[in-house]
Structure 1
Amino acid sequence: MIINRKEMARAKLEKLKNGYSAFAETKEVADIIEKELKKLDIPVHIDRTEHGCWFIPQEPKA
């Protein structure tokens, strides 16, 4: 089975857009998510660990 990393990143971006946290297991997927988050200007806290990267949605600053 082939896993499409771009599709995986898109699914995680949708979770973030809906206010849910997302976990990226690989640097490649994390990089795609970060790049898209910058384009969309979605504020998130990024917690990098040795096992992957957590993206946690933040409330927009008022």
Structure 2
Amino acid sequence: MLVINRKHLAKAKLEQLKNGYSAFADSSEVAGHLEREIKKHNLRVHIDRTPLGSWFIPIKDDE
């Protein structure tokens, strides 16, 4: 059985956002961790919540 640390997964997705790429979280737990990390790092991100999960889309400075 493979166990994935959700905090580690959220931090990996945070790095995607920092590099200008969108990230998807299919669980509310990962999405919650990711939202806290986004706030802590003062990133500008659009969050699109769907029934299947949440998309985190970085907002570029020129937008």
- Normalising by structure 2, what TM-score? 0.92
Q: What residue in structure 2 maps to residue 3 of structure 1?
A: 4
Gaps of 5+ in 2: none
Q: Which amino acid aligns with 1:41?
A: N
Percentage of matched positions with identical amino acids? 59
Provide the C-alpha distance between the structure 2 equivalents of 1:55 and 1:36, rounded to a whole number of angstroms.
12
Aligned-pair distance for 1:59? 1.8
What SS is found at the alignment partner of 2:49?
A: strand
Q: Secondary structure at the match of 1:2?
A: coil
Deviation for aligned residue 1:3: 1.0
TM-score normalized by structure 1?
0.93
